Amino acid sequence: MSNSKAAIQNGAASLPADSYKTSAWKDFMALIKIGIVNSNLITTFTGLWLALHFTGQSFLDNLDIIFYTVAGSSLIIAGSCVINNYVDRDIDHLMERTKTRPTVTGKVIPAKVLGLGIFLIGLGTLFLFLTTVTATVIGLLGVFSYVFLYTLWSKRQLVSNTIIGSISGAVPPLIGWAAVDANLDMMAWALFVLMFAWQPPHFYALAMRRVNEYRAAGIPMLPVVKGFKTTKIHIICWVAVLLPIPFLLIKLGIPFLILATLLNVGWLVLGIYGYRIKDDIKWAKLMFVYSLQYLTIIFVAMVLVTLI
């Protein structure tokens, strides 16, 4: 076996040494996928905040629960992402956005990466256990769905991998709510549905932009298997699913209902407008950027309207 082949099988791509010089901290941030951790932290905190608000509990009187929830959810998400990096080290070198991960460049030992992932999940579970059993169970179900249902099973085999992966991405607000109120309110499930429906149009847009990379890696993403035309239809349908969800959050008031509806309609209009844009990649970029702004605005708004 040649050195280059051995490097790839061990998770190291044949990149020039200078091309992936990073600090240990940056490598750690890449391993835990800090962007994913941060975005999920927003939704976790929102679920926790709303549970405190609607159960009439004080934020300052529950700082310990808040800390355990934020730390625990962040750690289990980080650990799951580390294991995802461990599993995908054989294909990440084929994709531009993942080829410099430390699991690919060979800067970390695969066995240690796996150990780190398990340790983070274990530590996060302990923190969540200091809140409620319900929050702990939901957190572990999220880990199971991301690591086993998505990473180890559906990602490389099913075109529906994005839908299956959306389960884990929708769990964080449930964890936040359950840490305060184990009897999950209808609103908590509305947050779950919102996050579940948001993910397919977000990730399908990303997959359109990275279609050649996914094809090279052999990942059956929707644009790879069905093409752009079908993917655009799926994106628009999933955005349409979001339209009634604000009405499940009516307790947040009319101003929020109006804002959320405008955001949903705006996303739908942008999607339909895509049929007039000949450049599919440009349209996908617009949809992807909108999805990011959408998530931030709508979850921050949920917190702000309860302060008025």
Which residues make Cβ contacts (< 8 Å) with residue 93, sequence separation at least 6?
Answer: 8, 12, 13, 14, 15, 99, 104
**Same-domain status, 239 and 114:** no
What percentage of residues in the chain have a pLDDT greater than 70?
A: 93
76 lies in which domain range? Answer: 23-184
**Same-domain status, 30 and 147:** yes
- From CA 184, how far away is CA 238, in angstroms rounded? 25
CATH code for the domain in which residue 290 is found: 1.20.120
Which residue has 């709508």 as its token pair? 298
- From CA 227, how far away is CA 124, in angstroms rounded? 39
pLDDT at 23: 85
Q: What is the DSSP string of 166-211?
A: HHHHHSHHHHHHHHH-SS--HHHHHHHHHHHHHHHHHHHHHHHHTH
Structure tokens given for 27 = 């490598």
- Among 184, 199, 229, identify where a domain stops: 184
Which residues make Cβ contacts (< 8 Å) with residue 305, sequence separation at least 6?
Answer: 252, 253, 255, 256
**In-domain check, residue 16:** no
Over range 22-47, report the average pLDDT: 94
Per the model's pLDDT, the better-predicted residue between 100 and 160 turns out to be 160
**Same-domain status, 29 and 122:** yes
218 conformational bin, left if phi > 0, alpha if psi -120 to 50, beta if neither: left
- Helices 133-144 and 161-170 cross at an angle (nearest 10°) of 160
- From CA 53, how far away is CA 154, in angstroms rounded? 38
Q: How confident is the model at residue 189 (pLDDT cuts 50, 70, 90)?
A: very high
- Is 12 strand, coil or helix? strand
Structure tokens given for 34 = 């800090």
pLDDT at 99: 87
Contact 207, 223 (CB under 8 A): yes
Strand-pair partners of 105: 12
**In-domain check, residue 4:** no
Over range 80-108, report the average pLDDT: 91
**In-domain check, residue 88:** yes
- Among 152, 184, 216, identify where a domain stops: 184
**Same-domain status, 168 and 99:** yes
- pLDDT beyond 60 at 140: yes
Which residues make Cβ contacts (< 8 Å) with residue 109, sequence separation at least 6?
Answer: none
**In-domain check, residue 1:** no
Over range 247-270, report the average pLDDT: 97
pLDDT at 5: 40
The dihedral formed by the CA atoms of 63, 66, 70 and 72, expressed in degrees to the nearest 10: 100
**Same-domain status, 106 and 223:** no
Q: How confident is the model at residue 21 (pLDDT cuts 50, 70, 90)?
A: low
Over range 9-20, report the average pLDDT: 46
Which residues make Cβ contacts (< 8 Å) with residue 86, sequence separation at least 6?
Answer: 103, 110, 113, 114, 117
pLDDT at 243: 98
Q: How confident is the model at residue 20 (pLDDT cuts 50, 70, 90)?
A: low
**Same-domain status, 167 and 286:** no
**Same-domain status, 33 and 132:** yes
- Among 127, 150, 184, identify where a domain stops: 184
**Same-domain status, 235 and 294:** yes
- From CA 86, how far away is CA 80, in angstroms rounded? 10
